[in-house]
């Protein structure tokens, strides 16, 4: 009986044996590895491919056409030279900001930009912005504060009064995401009345209605067409409140902002919104491997050197179990320890590398495993794709900028 159980268990184990996923670098990463081994910093570094970034900007420009404007999402591309590059190539001055220290740096260093906040900031944060403001940026013309409730509007009105300044107010509306913002026209009506009553301190600058759920809700639950129709209907309802109940506030210069990387390409036929915010799609981290962004290509990679390259994975204190696992899984045949690790990122080159959940993660020197076919030695680089850009891009110091297979620049990131 026992023999039968063992034979069946061995049969099942063999049938479920993972296939060998290992390989070498493709030509693109082989060239980058050669480049970094010659000229790289020999530590973990963030690499931005300008040729690929250009391709992504061109895809975006073909989709967002006048009279619509492209607004670059600063948190997803947190570097002044990078933001400047994107603005120049895409022909925009519009920026969306989400963090007060970044807001001040953009206002000072890209002083001709026109900035919309992407989230409602505590009024003390707004106060700090004005206290830290340097240079020629004029917030009364160039900065739209995002306000989500009548209470916050009142706080901002009081701040505008005490600073003797005028503030441009953009109102966050809920168009289906349910992440806050105004959710009914009566509340909007009240807020607009406050703006009308304080023309010397407050000016309506527009609306912001963010909608990533349209690309994320599974198709079997809701059709994308019905979700986007719902977003447009909700947006139009709020715009109509201005036109019908406060016509003095209406002008076709209002910023009607919406979308984000996952959805911007769904607005090609739309005539209501005039301002679409996009950041991540321009570098395409793995969270943005979605059908709506199929023409975009990954442009951002972490590259880190291999410190140690060895044979099969061995779990400390569990040599017997290690041998069994190594026999069973061909993708454990080789072990590499890399410089740093535990980033929000996935190994992509050479093919078939993966972290080891049993050994555990490490941000000092992380274990990666691969099959005998993984071509990798000490001092070679492992390449990973970040899952998102905003937090990851701030972890490596200057970005290494490459074009045509050469390092062409080093760009500092924003200071936290
Ligand atoms: C208000 C708002 N607009 C747009 C975006 C889109 O940013 P990205 O294109 O980087 O996804 C975001 C992302 O969080 C957002 O919060």
> How many angstroms does the Cα of residue 195 sit away from the middle of ligand 1?
26
Pairing of strands 345-349, 381-386: antiparallel
> How many angstroms does the Cα of residue 69 sit away from the middle of ligand 1?
15
User: In this predicted structure, what is the pLDDT of residue 299?
Assistant: 98
| Mean pLDDT of the 158-175 span | 98
Q: How many CA atoms lie within 13 A of 252 on its CB side?
A: 4
Residue among 147, 277, 289, 390 to mutate when testing ligand 1 (max atoms within 8 A of CB): 277
* Contacts by 222-231, CB closer than 8 A, 24 or more apart: 224/266, 227/176, 228/263, 228/266, 230/175, 230/176, 231/175, 231/176, 231/258
Coil/strand/helix, residue 295: coil
Minimum CA distance residue for ligand 1 atom 5: 260
User: In this predicted structure, what is the pLDDT of residue 106?
Assistant: 98
| Mean pLDDT of the 205-216 span | 97
Query: Which DSSP string corresponds to 186-225?
Result: HHHHHHHHHHHH-TTTEEEEEEEE--THHHHS-TTTS-HH
- Nearest atom within ligand 1 for CA of residue 75: 10
Indicate the DSSP class of residue 413: P
Question: What tokens were used for 10?
Answer: 């061995």
Minimum CA distance residue for ligand 1 atom 15: 118
Minimum CA distance residue for ligand 1 atom 4: 260
22 contacts 376 by C-beta, under 8 angstroms: no
- Nearest atom within ligand 1 for CA of residue 258: 3
Indicate if ligand 1 lies below 6 Å from the C-beta of 181.
no
User: In this predicted structure, what is the pLDDT of residue 312?
Assistant: 87
The pLDDT of residue 7 is above 80 = no
Indicate if ligand 1 lies below 6 Å from the C-beta of 276.
no
Indicate if ligand 1 lies below 6 Å from the C-beta of 188.
no
> How many angstroms does the Cα of residue 277 sit away from the middle of ligand 1?
6
User: In this predicted structure, what is the pLDDT of residue 10?
Assistant: 75
User: In this predicted structure, what is the pLDDT of residue 6?
Assistant: 75
What CATH number belongs to 50-281?
A: 3.20.20.10
Segments making up each domain of the chain, as ranges: 20-47+298-411, 50-281
Q: What pLDDT digit, counting tens, does each position of 24-77 carry?
A: 999 999 999 999 999 999 999 999 999 999 999 999 999 999 999 999 999 999
Q: Following CA atoms 136, 137, 141, 143 in sequence, which dihedral angle do they give, to the nearest 10 degrees? A: -170
Q: What stretches of 263-388 show up as alpha helix (H) in DSSP?
A: 319-328
| Mean pLDDT of the 209-236 span | 96
> CA–CA separation, 59 vs 264, rounded Å?
11
The answer to whether the bond into 350 is cis (omega within 30° of 0) is yes
> How many angstroms does the Cα of residue 118 sit away from the middle of ligand 1?
7
Which pTM value belongs to this model? Answer: 0.96
- Nearest atom within ligand 1 for CA of residue 172: 1
> How many angstroms does the Cα of residue 100 sit away from the middle of ligand 1?
16
Q: What pLDDT digit, counting tens, does each position of 69-82 carry?
A: 999 999 999 999 99
What CATH number belongs to 20-47+298-411?
A: 2.40.37.20
Indicate if ligand 1 lies below 6 Å from the C-beta of 285.
no
> How many angstroms does the Cα of residue 278 sit away from the middle of ligand 1?
6
Helices 123-132 and 100-109, packing angle to 10 deg: 30
| Mean pLDDT of the 211-233 span | 96
Backbone phi, psi, residue 329, to 5°: -115, 110
pLDDT above 70 covers a percentage of the chain that reads 100
Indicate if ligand 1 lies below 6 Å from the C-beta of 78.
no
> How many angstroms does the Cα of residue 44 sit away from the middle of ligand 1?
27
Indicate if ligand 1 lies below 6 Å from the C-beta of 277.
yes
- Nearest atom within ligand 1 for CA of residue 262: 11
Q: What pLDDT digit, counting tens, does each position of 336-367 carry?
A: 999 999 999 999 999 999 999 899 999 999 99
Residue among 60, 94, 118 to mutate when testing ligand 1 (max atoms within 8 A of CB): 118
User: In this predicted structure, what is the pLDDT of residue 314?
Assistant: 85
The pLDDT of residue 380 is above 80 = yes
- Nearest atom within ligand 1 for CA of residue 98: 16
Indicate if ligand 1 lies below 6 Å from the C-beta of 386.
no
User: In this predicted structure, what is the pLDDT of residue 8?
Assistant: 83
386 contacts 393 by C-beta, under 8 angstroms: yes
Question: What tokens were used for 327?
Answer: 């026999």
């Amino acid at each position: 009986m026992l023999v039968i159980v063992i034979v069946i268990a061995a049969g099942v184990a063999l049938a479920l044996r993972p296939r060998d996923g290992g390989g070498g670098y493709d030509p693109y990463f082989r060239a980058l590895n050669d480049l970094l081994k010659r000229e790289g910093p020999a530590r973990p570094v963030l690499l931005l491919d300008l040729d690929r970034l250009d391709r992504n900007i061109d895809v975006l420009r073909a989709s967002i056409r006048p009279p619509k404007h492209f607004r670059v999402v600063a948190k997803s591309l947190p570097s002044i030279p990078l933001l400047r590059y994107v603005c120049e190539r895409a022909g925009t001055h519009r920026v969306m900001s989400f963090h007060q220290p970044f807001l001040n740096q953009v206002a000072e260093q890209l002083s001709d930009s026109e900035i919309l906040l992407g989230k409602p900031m505590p009024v003390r944060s707004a106060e700090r912005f004005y206290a830290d403001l340097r240079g020629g940026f004029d917030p009364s013309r160039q900065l739209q504060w995002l306000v989500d409730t009548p209470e916050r509007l009142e706080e901002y009105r009081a701040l505008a009064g005490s600073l003797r300044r005028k503030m441009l107010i953009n109102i966050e509306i809920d168009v289906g995401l349910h992440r806050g913002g105004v959710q009914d026209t009566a509340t909007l009506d009240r807020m607009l009345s406050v703006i009308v009553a304080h023309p010397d301190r407050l000016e309506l600058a527009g609306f912001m209605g963010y909608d990533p759920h349209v690309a994320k809700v599974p198709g079997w639950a809701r059709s994308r067409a019905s979700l986007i129709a719902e977003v447009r209907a909700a947006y139009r309802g709020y715009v109509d409140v201005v036109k019908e109940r406060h016509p003095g506030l209406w002008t076709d210069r209002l910023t009607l902002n919406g979308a984000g990387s996952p959805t911007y390409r769904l607005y090609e036929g739309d005539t209501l919104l005039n301002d679409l915010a996009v950041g991540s799609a321009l570098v395409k981290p793995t969270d943005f491997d979605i059908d709506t962004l199929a023409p975009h290509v990954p442009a951002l990679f972490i590259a880190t050197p291999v410190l140690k390259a060895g044979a099969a994975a061995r779990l400390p204190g569990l040599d017997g179990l290690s041998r069994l696992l190594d026999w069973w899984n061909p993708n454990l045949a080789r072990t590499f320890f890399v410089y740093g690790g535990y980033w929000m990122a996935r190994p992509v080159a050479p093919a078939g590398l993966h972290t080891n959940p049993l050994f555990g993660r490490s941000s000092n020197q992380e274990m990666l495993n691969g099959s005998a076919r993984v071509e990798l030695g000490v001092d070679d680089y492992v390449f990973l794709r970040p899952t998102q850009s905003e937090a990851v891009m701030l972890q490596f110091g200057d970005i290494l900028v490459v074009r045509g297979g050469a390092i062409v620049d080093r760009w500092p990131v924003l200071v936290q």
